[in-house]
Structure formats: structure tokens, C-alpha cells
Amino acid sequence: MVGRYHINPETAVLKVADWPIEDQRLWSASMDRDDPFSEEGQRADKREISNTKVAKGYGRFLTFITRYHPDDLILPPSQRITPERVKAYVDNLRTNGNSDLTVLDRLQELHSAAIVMSQKA
């Protein structure tokens, strides 16, 4: 089936509930406002629409990792976002017909998520 009911596995977005457990924990902690002196909670002051955009962008990156580098899923989240993986991700986005602006959007979302994923356990 073609059209809005067709789901291209290349462009699917992994939902937060389907992310690896450590990624979910770090994302959840980034929304927490309990400790104003903690590095955690750095996304708590962002608008919901911004957090949704970053989560979807990171979910798109995780779809790419799941499809092409599934062994990376056993690594800590901060170790999955390497220059080599980002380059391959950009190549994949372009291969799938994404415009330069869309590629830049995905990189911005990945950067914002990488800040969250780089937090200590």
C-alpha cells in the first residue's frame, strides 16, 4: 500500500518505550526537575514540542542503528554516537531522499539527544 498508510522501515521512528533501557532511563532523568543542582533534568525546562522533536529524531537514529548496526545496541548510549555512525546515518538519510534541511534537522535532534545520553549513570 502506498500513501500515508505505508510505513517505510527506513524512516520509522523508534518510540521512547522501545528504546534500550539505559537510553530510556537517561531520557527520563533529563525530564526530572527534582534536584536543581543536578546535571540531570537539562531538558525539563524545554517545551514539550521541542522534547518530542528531539525524542523522535533520536528514535529515527535508533532505527538506523537497529537496522544497520544492531551490535551497537549493547554499547552505552554515549558510545553509539560516533563520527563514523553519524556519517553513515547522514548518508542513509540522503539515500532515502531527505533534503539538506531535513538532514540538518536530524543532526540537531541527534546532538540534543547526545547531550542527554552523555550523562553519567
The answer, yes or no, to whether residue 33 has pLDDT greater than 90, is: no
Full-model pTM: 0.85
C-alpha cell at 43: 531538558
The pLDDT score that the predictor gives to residue 65 is: 97
What whole-number distance in Å separates Cα of residue 112 and Cα of residue 37?
20
What whole-number distance in Å separates Cα of residue 19 and Cα of residue 3?
27
Residue with cell 546532538: 111
Average pLDDT, the chain: 86
Residue 109 pLDDT class (50, 70, 90 cuts): very high
Q: Residue 49: how many CA atoms within 13 Å on its side-chain side?
A: 0
What whole-number distance in Å separates Cα of residue 82 and Cα of residue 39?
22
The pLDDT score that the predictor gives to residue 34 is: 62
C-alpha cell at 21: 533501557
Lowest mean pLDDT among 31-35, 52-56, 76-80, 113-117: 31-35
